[in-house]
């Protein structure tokens, strides 16, 4: 009983440790992520490049046995990513104590070879920003920020510039990670149902063609 109490006490203390998060990404660059735990600073991304090691020759495959292909995670569409972001923001807004964001920058610069498409894309981005900014305000306590769309008629490719400096507790990280995991499983099920329905329709049309 005493050992269980000590374990729970240690876990409670660890869950209340504040973490400093500092990172971001811009078009054409690498993801940067640093974590501060007290006076300790850890660079998570980009990872240090390791020296290439000599590759071992592949083991010969026994006759009759084939290598099983590992199933990777399904790639999310823009709609899937949007679902995940909204789920994370909703989870954060439920927290009693909002996460303090010292600085948040999220700039989407619309650009294309066609000025009309650039203007149209900027209009869509402005509408999306109008719906997302209230979600950000509910989820975080933002001290300083630069959030919103922009346009560039001199460029042909859109750009994204994201940077965040925030303070978060360990238990808050675990809570948001659990919510995202559940939401990802839901999206995965939707993908599975959509693909099965598509396959059924293909088989139906094939059978009708034979008849």
User: pLDDT digits over 65-107, tens only?
Assistant: 555 555 555 566 767 777 777 777 777 777 766 778 899 999 9
Q: Which of 72-86, 104-118, 150-164, 196-210 has the lowest mean pLDDT?
A: 196-210
| Beta pairing, strands 40-45 & 32-37 | antiparallel
Judge contact between 89 and 138, C-beta under 8 A: yes
pLDDT for the residue 175: 81
pLDDT for the residue 84: 76
pTM (global) more than 0.85 = no
Judge contact between 100 and 169, C-beta under 8 A: no
- The rounded distance, in Å, linking the Cα atoms of 108 and 118 is 12
């Amino acid at each position: 009983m005493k050992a269980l109490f000590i374990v729970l006490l240690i876990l409670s203390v660890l869950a209340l440790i504040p973490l400093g998060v500092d990172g971001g990404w811009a078009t054409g660059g690498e993801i940067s992520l640093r974590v501060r735990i007290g006076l300790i600073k850890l660079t998570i991304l980009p990872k240090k490049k390791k020296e290439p090691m000599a590759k071992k020759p592949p083991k010969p495959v026994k006759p009759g046995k084939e290598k099983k292909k590992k199933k990777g995670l399904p790639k999310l569409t823009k709609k899937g990513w949007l679902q995940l972001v909204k789920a994370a923001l909703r989870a954060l807004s439920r927290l009693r104590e909002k996460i303090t964001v010292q600085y948040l920058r999220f700039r989407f610069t619309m650009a294309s070879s066609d000025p009309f498409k650039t203007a149209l894309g900027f209009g869509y981005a402005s509408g999306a920003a109008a719906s997302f900014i209230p979600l950000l305000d509910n989820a975080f306590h933002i001290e300083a920020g630069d959030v919103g769309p922009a346009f560039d008629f001199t460029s042909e490719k859109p750009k994204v510039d994201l940077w965040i400096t925030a303070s978060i507790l360990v238990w808050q990280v675990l809570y948001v990670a659990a919510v995202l995991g559940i939401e990802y499983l839901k999206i995965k099920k939707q993908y599975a149902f959509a693909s099965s329905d598509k396959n059924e329709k293909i088989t139906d049309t094939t059978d009708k063609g034979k008849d």
